[in-house]
Structure 1
Amino acid sequence: MTVAVAIAVAVAVALAAFVAYLAVRGSLRGEVDRALEEQRVVPPPGVAQGRGGPFGQRFGRLPARFGGATPFIQLIDAGDGVELRGPEPIAMPVAERARDVAAGVAEAYFSDVDVRGTHTRVLTVPVGDGVAVQFGRSLEPSDSVLSRLRLILVLVVLGGVALAVALGRLVSRNVVAPIAEVSDAARHIAQTEDLGRRIEVQTHDEVGELAEHFNQMLDTLERSVAAQRQLVADASHELRTPITSLRTNIEVLAESEALPPDERAQLLEDVEAQTTELGMLVADLIELARGDEPRRESEDVRLDALVSEALTRARRHAPGITFEAQLEPAVLDGTRERLARAVNNLLDNAAKHSPPGGVVHVTAGPSGVRVRDHGTGVPDEDLPHLFDRFYRGASSRGRPGSGLGLAIVRQVAEQHGGTVRATNAPEGGAEFTLELPATTPTGEVEPTTPSLWRQ
């Protein structure tokens, strides 16, 4: 990055210096040309007509300082004649183009010539009768200025490059350092699996946003890993009891061949019940683990139809419970399988805590799903923990279940941008509200079930 900045600045400064040099050179040349234009003189008519004698070349010595403020002047004809008319008898070289100007076949022009080692600017103009006059002025003062200017511009370019390198390193240090810190943090995490490291956000620019997003990613990853570890720890704890009990019963069955038939039947019944409980626990654990995965492809789900299907299932599993339902058409963008599992868990929980012959009220619509039972309700101290994994209140410890059903409900609600809460109804019993971002379908929709029905 520093090299790129230095090259860019060097090119920019060099171009600016080149343009400045051309501008100064053009200005100095312009001043010399204007001075030559002002020095135009017409030679005496006798000389122009040849009456002053034939043209001859009279060369004299070169003065210590050629030109100066007074231009050098010489007359030329179309042939090879040259007549010196300047204060110093110094002849300038005559080009073929200058003879053409004297002959009247070319226009006046400026040219640079070398006169005995002196860089000279020459203006050649016709004066008629086959004669042209040449005015010369030394360019040494201009060349001296341009030489010093070139040195200054070179120093400016070099200084600009040096300054660009210094600024480039400073900028690179400020810009690259946070990126390098992010890279070091990623390398450290990959090598040590330490998710507790964070990057200090010192700026609010794009690099600062990168560091902040990286920290947010680490927060999410750390929570996910912590949840997985907690799930494994909780599962190990919860699986230990039924597995130990199952192993004990199997050992008793294997070693006690002389058990009475009724005791043997009781042991087999216990083994079957423990196996079922273990299977339910494993299924719930798998469901929780699947819920930690990224959300699958979603679809439009008719929430009222989904609740209607869940009620049909609940009636089969709890035939002694009456379900009263009020369903309104509602559409939700989500994963049908997971939503059905959440609704089934709410209905199973309500049926499990209802007295024999009890009634469960269910409403569903654009606001979500509400399930209310007429059981004993939930103790106030249990309400904040109902949706924790493996939590079982005092009133639930004697009932079958893994303690994961409501945790799955909360997980599904959060995945779909909703919430779930539990309260105690004023008339008795518990009420669970699953709020989901559902909407009323557009157009005419046929209800899947009567809006109010009992079973």
Structure 2
Amino acid sequence: MPLRQRVALVSAVGVAVALVLALLIAYFVVRSEVRGQIDDSLKAQAGLIAGGDLRALGEGIPAPSPSAGGPAQYSQVVASDGTVVADFGGLRLPFDAVARSVATGQGANAFEDVHVEGSSLRMLVFGVGGGAVELARPLEAVDRVTAKLRLILFLICVGGVGVAAALSRLAARRVLTPLAEVASAAQHISETEDLTRRIEVRSDDEVGELVRRFNLMLDSLEASRTALDRSVKDQRQLVAAASHALRTPVTSLRTNVEILQETPNLADDERHELLSDVVEQIDELTTLVASLIELAREPAQSVHFEPVRLDELVDQAVVRARRNAPTVAFDAKLESLVIDGDRERLVRALNNLLDNAAHHSPAGEVVEVSLSDDGLRVRDHGSGIDPADLPHIFDRFYRGTDSRGRPGSGLGLAIVRKVIEQHNGLVTARNAPDGGAIFDVTLPPAQSKPTGSETASLRRPPRP
């Protein structure tokens, strides 16, 4: 049986039981009240007779006033041996064991329901000197009232149970509809893998909270799958782009090695030139493979945060850049700055950023490097960045218009962005008004700053 029907059935049964009990109580209360009025009228007449003489009562029984219920319809005076002294009303009342015990003084006054000649009577037996008096009233009127009451209460019970069943079914449907929607959504997702479906929250109760939690779970699953799909797509693009990027240096390296292998009698200067090309191509492959490994890592994989003097790392990167690009001057103005970061990854990002600036700076130009609490700025005086290239310069394997004829893999700035984002920072690029490109890097400071000499401002003049 479906849950909705079970809930409706249980609710209807519960209401029906409660209604039946309430109607039974009402029936017995009304029945007892009506019969109690008859008992009161009999006791009122008995009060007038109490203490009377048996012979005197045989001549007539006093009757109460109409306000007290009037006289009994049937009455009978009997001696202790059962002899009827007198009867009134034309109906002989029974003299049973209860009446006998009262007449002989062995029992207390008592009420009885008796049947005489097809009539139901309510009879009171009470003792008088030497015998007992039996007073009786017919119960036909009471029976008619109680029968009509039973019919009315039965109809009320049937109608109430029907209404309760309908309301229970409606309430069960209203309460369980969200659960049915959750089940339908789960089935839909299992069949179609569509995580975009959501369920309307209709209430603030436990069922509504369940629906909200289900929607939050779907949000989380959808975000996870979107991230997974994006990661798979990025990995596929990375593999495809890496295959293309590796093809040229590998082919060139293979060609040079084959020439060296197949031509043992090369002139020394030609052999030296080929070997220099081989070494350069191996360096290029090493750099490219290292970059690919870096980009293939998960965003938070192996990131080890510790307090790092960023000014020292930038200074080391400037020294390296001067060594690798001797035709370009570097003007470094560095202030002490401590951040929480991964030293190895920051070094790689800084080296790539300065190599890019040197790569696009003509001989004799200056690359300006400044570091302060506001962040790191690297400014070159080259040809700048083509406006069409600006939105893409941090993409993997993207190479600007003026870079496509030069060596390089197009991964350097992509690594810069990835490392900076792993440190909850931001890197941006723009063109300077008077020419050249400006790269700005902002990184959050360390949670606790060093004191003393570590906070001293460092100013380094350009090194030759």
Shared fold, TM over 0.5: yes
Match of 2:260 in 1: 253
Name which of 358, 381, 390 aligns with 1:351: 358
Show the 5 A alignment for 1:253-402: 253-290=260-297, 292-294=298-300, 299=305, 301-302=307-308, 305-319=309-323, 320=326, 321-332=329-340, 335-355=342-362, 358-397=365-404, 399-402=406-409
Give the aligned residue type for 1:318. R
Give the aligned residue type for 1:377. G
- With over 3 angstroms needed to count, the CA separation of the structure-2 counterparts of 1:453 and 1:24, relative to structure 1, is same
- With over 3 angstroms needed to count, the CA separation of the structure-2 counterparts of 1:155 and 1:268, relative to structure 1, is same
Q: Which runs of 5+ in 2 are unaligned?
A: 58-70, 202-210
- Residue 277 of structure 1 and its aligned partner are, at CA, apart by 0.5
- With over 3 angstroms needed to count, the CA separation of the structure-2 counterparts of 1:391 and 1:174, relative to structure 1, is closer
Match of 2:3 in 1: 4
- With over 3 angstroms needed to count, the CA separation of the structure-2 counterparts of 1:131 and 1:438, relative to structure 1, is farther
Q: Is the 8 A contact 1:329 1:366 kept in 2?
A: yes
Query: C-alpha separation between the residues in 2 aligned to 1:82 and 1:325?
Result: 138
Query: C-alpha separation between the residues in 1 aligned to 2:316 and 2:121?
Result: 109
Name which of 437, 441, 451 aligns with 1:434: 441
**Cα deviations by residue, 1:100-127 (Å, 9 ceiling, x for unpaired):** xx98989x99x9x8979x9x99898989
Give the aligned residue type for 1:382. D
- With over 3 angstroms needed to count, the CA separation of the structure-2 counterparts of 1:32 and 1:213, relative to structure 1, is same
- Residue 228 of structure 1 and its aligned partner are, at CA, apart by 1.4
Query: C-alpha separation between the residues in 1 aligned to 2:83 and 2:20?
Result: 37
Query: C-alpha separation between the residues in 2 aligned to 1:441 and 1:390?
Result: 38
- Residue 364 of structure 1 and its aligned partner are, at CA, apart by 2.9
Match of 1:226 in 2: 233
Q: Is the 8 A contact 1:74 1:85 kept in 2?
A: yes
Match of 1:37 in 2: 36
Show the 5 A alignment for 1:396-411: 396-397=403-404, 399-411=406-418
Show the 5 A alignment for 1:36-75: 36-39=35-38, 40-41=40-41, 42-44=44-46, 48-49=50-51, 51-52=53-54
- With over 3 angstroms needed to count, the CA separation of the structure-2 counterparts of 1:16 and 1:201, relative to structure 1, is closer
- TM-score normalized with structure 1 length: 0.72
| Pair 1:199 & 2:196 matched | yes
Give the aligned residue type for 1:315. V
Match of 1:26 in 2: 25
- Residue 331 of structure 1 and its aligned partner are, at CA, apart by 3.4
**How many percent identity over aligned positions?**
34
- With over 3 angstroms needed to count, the CA separation of the structure-2 counterparts of 1:441 and 1:24, relative to structure 1, is same
| Pair 1:239 & 2:227 matched | no
- With over 3 angstroms needed to count, the CA separation of the structure-2 counterparts of 1:316 and 1:30, relative to structure 1, is same
Query: C-alpha separation between the residues in 1 aligned to 2:32 and 2:420?
Result: 89
**Cα deviations by residue, 1:30-88 (Å, 9 ceiling, x for unpaired):** 223222333313345696447437x9xxxxxxxxxxxxxx99989999x9989999997
Match of 2:64 in 1: none
Deviates more, 1:306-315 or 1:138-147: 138-147
- Residue 336 of structure 1 and its aligned partner are, at CA, apart by 4.5
Secondary structure of residue in 1 paired with 2:367: strand
Q: Which runs of 5+ in 1 are unaligned?
A: 56-69, 187-196
Secondary structure of residue in 1 paired with 2:384: coil
- With over 3 angstroms needed to count, the CA separation of the structure-2 counterparts of 1:162 and 1:250, relative to structure 1, is same
- Residue 90 of structure 1 and its aligned partner are, at CA, apart by 6.7
Q: Is the 8 A contact 1:369 1:435 kept in 2?
A: yes
Give the aligned residue type for 2:30. E
- Cα RMSD for the two superposed structures: 4.7
Deviates more, 1:225-234 or 1:138-147: 138-147
Give the aligned residue type for 1:348. D
- With over 3 angstroms needed to count, the CA separation of the structure-2 counterparts of 1:18 and 1:262, relative to structure 1, is same
Q: Is the 8 A contact 2:241 2:397 kept in 1?
A: yes
Deviates more, 1:82-91 or 1:143-152: 82-91
Q: Is the 8 A contact 1:21 1:149 kept in 2?
A: no
| Pair 1:178 & 2:177 matched | no
Q: Is the 8 A contact 1:368 1:435 kept in 2?
A: yes
Secondary structure of residue in 2 paired with 1:280: helix
Query: C-alpha separation between the residues in 2 aligned to 1:162 and 1:300?
Result: 63
Secondary structure of residue in 2 paired with 1:257: coil
- Residue 339 of structure 1 and its aligned partner are, at CA, apart by 3.4
Secondary structure of residue in 2 paired with 1:389: coil
Deviates more, 1:126-135 or 1:349-358: 126-135
- With over 3 angstroms needed to count, the CA separation of the structure-2 counterparts of 1:6 and 1:74, relative to structure 1, is farther
- Residue 237 of structure 1 and its aligned partner are, at CA, apart by 0.6
Secondary structure of residue in 2 paired with 1:226: helix
**Cα deviations by residue, 1:177-231 (Å, 9 ceiling, x for unpaired):** 2232222233xxxxxxxxxx66355746735555555444443333222211111
- With over 3 angstroms needed to count, the CA separation of the structure-2 counterparts of 1:19 and 1:358, relative to structure 1, is same
Secondary structure of residue in 1 paired with 2:460: strand
Secondary structure of residue in 1 paired with 2:54: coil
Query: C-alpha separation between the residues in 2 aligned to 1:311 and 1:387?
Result: 24
Query: C-alpha separation between the residues in 1 aligned to 2:413 and 2:26?
Result: 89
Secondary structure of residue in 2 paired with 1:447: helix
Larger Rg: 2
